[in-house]
Every structure is written in structure tokens, then in C-alpha cells.
């Protein structure tokens, strides 16, 4: 039972354009959502997060949108840069982010930025 789903295994975007990565979840108990970026042979690194009490969180080129009624979130990267090429994981947890909650991850989307 995949509680967090990333239905696009891969995405290619031209440098300078917007990258939109999507994530859906089924567990209505999830109330904190995170995006991680992963390069080959490295561990995931935290990118941006959002609490269920918000519908948008922005950090520089990265914005995460949350639609609770649709159980859907998306990550927007604009403008996209070659260094953004990586695998992106959506993750969710139950409970506020105190750092001790287990995360449920999606299967990832491989983003390739075309120069």
C-alpha cells in the first residue's frame, strides 16, 4: 500500500524553465510534508517542507504547494538550473516536525535539466 505516490518516474526540463514535480498521498493523517533531493551515491538532502496548516511555502527558487482536499502537493523550481538534476523524493509524516517522526517516502522523480 503506497501511501505516498510520485507517478512520474522522470521529467526533463529546459534550463531556465519551470520544473513541476507532483506528489499524491492517501493517508489523511499526514500533516507534514517534505521534499528531498538525492544525487547518486549520496544520501537524500532536505530541500523544503510544508505543514498542513499552510498551502504554500517558498524558499528562493523552490516553492511547495499543498492541496489538502485533493491530497496533492507539488514542488516548483524556477528557474531550473543544471545542478537541479537529481532524484526528488516527496515524504510525509504524522505529527509536527520535531525531527523524531518517521517519514513515508514516495518512489522518487528523476529530474533532468537540459542545458
Partner 1 sequence: GAGVSQSPRYKVAKRGQDVALRCDPISGHVSLFWYQQALGQGPEFLTYFQNEAQLDKSGLPSDRFFAERPEGSVSTLKIQRTQQEDSAVYLCASSLAASRFFGPGTRLTVL
**Which residues contact partner 1 by CB under 8 A?**
4, 6, 36, 41-46, 89, 91, 97-100, 102-108
Do 109 and 6 contact (CB within 8 A), yes or no?
yes
Write out the three cell numbers for 115.
542545458
- Name the residue nearer to partner 1 (CB basis): 89 or 113: 89
Residue 90 CA to residue 108 CA, distance in Å, equals: 7
CB of 15 to partner 1, least distance (A): 27
- Name the residue nearer to partner 1 (CB basis): 1 or 115: 1
- Name the residue nearer to partner 1 (CB basis): 22 or 97: 97
β partners of residue 66: 73
Amino acid at each position: 500500500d503506497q501511501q505516498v505516490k510520485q507517478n512520474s518516474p522522470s521529467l526533463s526540463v529546459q534550463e531556465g524553465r519551470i520544473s513541476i514535480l507532483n506528489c499524491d498521498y492517501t493517508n489523511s493523517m499526514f500533516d507534514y510534508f517534505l521534499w528531498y533531493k538525492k544525487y547518486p551515491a549520496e544520501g537524500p538532502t532536505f530541500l523544503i517542507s510544508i505543514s498542513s496548516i499552510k498551502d504554500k511555502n517558498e524558499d528562493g527558487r523552490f516553492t511547495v504547494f499543498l492541496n489538502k482536499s485533493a491530497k496533492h502537493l507539488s514542488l516548483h523550481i524556477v528557474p531550473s538550473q543544471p545542478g537541479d538534476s537529481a532524484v526528488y523524493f516527496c515524504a510525509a509524516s504524522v505529527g509536527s516536525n520535531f525531527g523524531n517522526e518517521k517519514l513515508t517516502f514516495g518512489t522518487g522523480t528523476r529530474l533532468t535539466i537540459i542545458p
